[in-house]
Structure 1
């Protein structure tokens, strides 16, 4: 899996999201900006992301993910 595939996957699953993905092989650093995070704490935001990456994690396509999850207001400030 490559960074553009991670980006496309998350943007297709989280409506209106903007994803910045870096990395290669099975280690990725991602920043996800989405209205869907409004009102969610950090753990809930991460759980949302992991729910969409679970298949790739279980097959070993993704081994490690470092993430930032922001609402659009947080991203703009």
Structure 2
């Protein structure tokens, strides 16, 4: 699955400000930014991301996924540490 396809799937399904997806081999890293994560614990945040991707995960198309979810305020603070240089 292409990174841009994952990004567009998540942007269509969730109220996100930004989505960044990178890939190394079969491992995908997803950074999702949106105020929809406000007040949620990490498990709930990840469940929100997994939801729209579940068909691709169960088919084996997506295998290893790392998810980092941030509110817009958190992202302003954390962006410098999470974006590739």
TM-score (norm 1): 0.91
Matched residue count:
77
**Structure-1 separation of matches of 2:44 and 2:59:** 23
**Residue in structure 2 matched with residue 4 of structure 1 by the alignment:** 4
**Structure-2 separation of matches of 1:51 and 1:67:** 13
The runs of 5 or more residues in structure 1 that have no matched partner are none
**Residue in structure 2 matched with residue 42 of structure 1 by the alignment:** 42
Deviation at 1:26, TM superposition (A): 4.1
**8 Å CA contact retained: 1:26, 1:60:** no
Higher alpha-carbon Rg: 2
Distance 1:46 1:16, change over 3 A: closer
**Residue in structure 2 matched with residue 57 of structure 1 by the alignment:** 57
Question: Which 4+ stretches in 1 moved above 2 angstroms?
Answer: 24-27
CA RMSD of aligned residues (A): 1.3
**Structure-1 separation of matches of 2:23 and 2:12:** 19
**Structure-1 separation of matches of 2:59 and 2:24:** 16
